[in-house]
Amino acid sequence: MDALVERVTAWFADVARDLPWRAPDRTPWGVLVSEVMLQQTPVVRVEPVWHEWMGRWPSPADLAAAPTSEVLRAWGRLGYPRRALRLADCARAIVERHGGAVPSDEKALRALPGVGEYTAAAVRAFAFGRRAVVVDTNVRRVQARAVTGDALPAPSYTAAERRLAASLVPDGDTDAAAWAAASMELGAVVCTARVPRCDVCPVRDLCAWRVAGFPPDEHAHRRRTQSWDGTDRQVRGRVMAALRGADGPVPRELLTDAGPEAQLDRCLAGLVEDGLAETDEAGRFMLPV
């Protein structure tokens, strides 16, 4: 365990990607924004939006005062736009409860809107350099292969994984924060899900999965896959793109290209219920004010 942590951390010190939310002048708010944006979204799509976002709203107070329509437009095509609404709610809570400063206490972070176990731990580690158990999909995959010898972790996060993750975290703040970033980076760029780059892995000789002969994924039958074409997510995305690009309210008949009639009606109702769209007296659709 100690050798695994030491090697991965040393490897990260040499090859870490130069990302803006890792820069020496990063702010806790910038780290929090990046963590919300990076949920189920790759770095290459997040980075330009993050730069624009931080240029417009460099502090929680700035975002807290922004119109919802502008927040959703700035979110652009990152997907899962409810994250943008939760981030705006989070900014308002930070202003109201913490005087506009992102808290470093994990309990206080988890009490913020839209901030769960992973995001709170990540902000504590990456923004404040404090010890936290940071576990995302990449870290779970590294643990599964290197320590337990599984091709991929179980579909759902287990209590055993949580205990293992906690046991790997060094005691000191500096070492713990370094391990959090390093293990995540290893999973993101080397120990990838489909084509792991075992030839350049810094712990290939310690990897239990490699030693076992690369056994197949025992949970493959439990993993659900869904085509993107024709899904409600695709239709909702098309509607949101139309609303973001419109100068004013959009009549329903101008949205018919988004999807079949019944599906479009369902998606429009869902967007209104989620607070991502609203209607005027004429029944036209627009971004919330």
The CA–CA distances, whole Å, from 30 to 90, 113, 131, 150, 259 equal 13, 17, 19, 35, 36
Query: Of these residues, 6, 35, 47, 52, which one is catalytic?
Result: 35
Q: Which of 222, 214, 221 is nearest to 195 (CA)?
A: 214
φ, ψ of residue 250 to 5 degrees: the values are -115, 120
> To 5 degrees, how large is the angle CA 157–CA 21–CA 161?
15
**Do 134 and 121 touch, CB atoms closer than 8 A?**
yes
148: amino acid identity, one letter = T
Pure H helices in 76-136: 82-98, 106-110, 117-128
Distance of alpha carbon 6 from alpha carbon 14, whole angstroms = 13
* CB proximity list for 61: less than 8 A, separation 6 or greater: 91, 95, 100
**Do 288 and 72 touch, CB atoms closer than 8 A?**
yes
Q: Does 35 participate in catalysis according to the annotation?
A: yes
Catalytic residue numbers read 35
